[in-house]
Amino acid sequence: MKEKMRYAASPPANQEPMKLRKNVAVSEAGLLFNPVTGESFSVNPIGVEILKLIREDRSVDQISETILEKYNIDKTTFEKDYHDFVGILYNHNLIETNEETND
Q: Are 93 and 11 in contact (CB under 8 A)?
A: no
- Strands 31-34 and 25-26 come out as antiparallel
> Which pLDDT belongs to residue 12?
52
Checking if the pLDDT of 1 tops 70, the result is: no
Give the pLDDT score at 97: 75
User: What are 48-93's pLDDT values in tens digits?
Assistant: 999 999 999 999 999 999 999 999 999 999 999 999 999 999 999 8
β-strand pairing of 95-97 with 31-34: unpaired
Q: Say if pTM beats, i.e. exceeds, 0.85.
A: no
| Average pLDDT score, the chain | 83
- With 90 as the cut, is the pLDDT of residue 18 above it? no
pLDDT at 2 over 50: no
Model confidence pLDDT, tens digit, residues 33-44? 999 999 999 999
- Which residue, 101, 99, 96, is CA-closest to 11? 96
